[in-house]
Amino acid sequence: MCLTDWEMDDVLDYLHIKNLMEAPDSLYSISAAYAGTGHGLCKEYTKLYQCEAEDHLYFPNKDVLNVDFSHQALRITTKGMQTYKAFGGGEAVVDTDLGYVEGLDDEEMEELFKRIGEKMSSFVQSQRRKVTMILLTGTRVGEHRFKETLRDALEDLVATQAMREVDISFSEGVGVDVHTVFATVKGAAEVAKRRLEAPVRCLWREDCEALKAGKHEGIGENIDL
């Protein structure tokens, strides 16, 4: 009879062995944005156990709301997070009818942002968590009207500090910083770098460094890590 996953986890816990095979392969957009804005990134990421200690000691749990606004769509995601390594993509809604549209007259633009505000507030109200952090991403989040819409829709629904941080992220007269707009891309690149350099699924063998560098004899064959 084979052991179940739960039983194997108990065995590994008893032996104080870290199961690196459980590390998720997928990286969801909200996790990438979280990393791209500098949150939940341990300094000693090449040292597995030190990194985990940093995660637990220094990074509080946040109830994160990611609002991504572009020409293609409005995407809203919420998720409880401590680091980018949290499992799953959270609860999300994507509305391709609420992307930014060039050339609308004032009345049409007002109607668009009214619908955007309604979508934001209804989504946040449908969630059980109290949002403590807002991440803004996407090529059109710098629109002044977007900031006003966000504030009107969410000010009474999220933590005060979360809204205050949004206000700070908008530079006076400029809009959201470009590093915020493209935080998802930055975060994905940072995570990819860490996965290449850190000992994920290559911890116990003495020749791990050679394997990662592609210098192991017989490279190209099936190698049991």
Residue 219's SS3 state is strand
Which residues are CB-neighbours of 67 under 8 A, at least 6 positions away? 74, 75, 76, 120, 134, 135, 136, 137, 138, 141, 150
What is the model's pLDDT at position 4? 74
Q: pLDDT tier at 225 (50, 70, 90 boundaries)?
A: very low
Residue 3 is which amino acid?
Answer: L
Question: Which neighbouring-strand residues pair with 78?
Answer: 65, 91
- Minimal CA–CA distance to 44: which of 55, 36, 33? 55
Q: How confident is the model at residue 217 (pLDDT cuts 50, 70, 90)?
A: very low
Nearest to 33 by CA among 177, 171, 180: 180
pLDDT bin (cut points 50, 70, 90) of residue 126 is: very high
Q: Where are the domains of the chain?
A: 26-204
pLDDT digits (tens, 9 = 90+) for 168-215: 776 555 556 666 778 999 999 999 888 888 766 554 455 556 655 665
Q: Is the pLDDT of residue 2 over 60?
A: yes
The CATH architecture assigned to 26-204 reads 2-Layer Sandwich (3.30)
Q: Mind listing the pLDDT tens digit for each residue in 15-61?
A: 666 655 566 668 899 999 999 999 999 998 888 888 889 998 899 99
Query: How many alpha carbons lie under 13 Å from residue 11 in its C-beta half-sphere?
Result: 7
Distances (CA, A) of 105 to 65, 116, 117: 30, 17, 18
pLDDT band at 223 (very low <50, low <70, confident <90, very high): very low
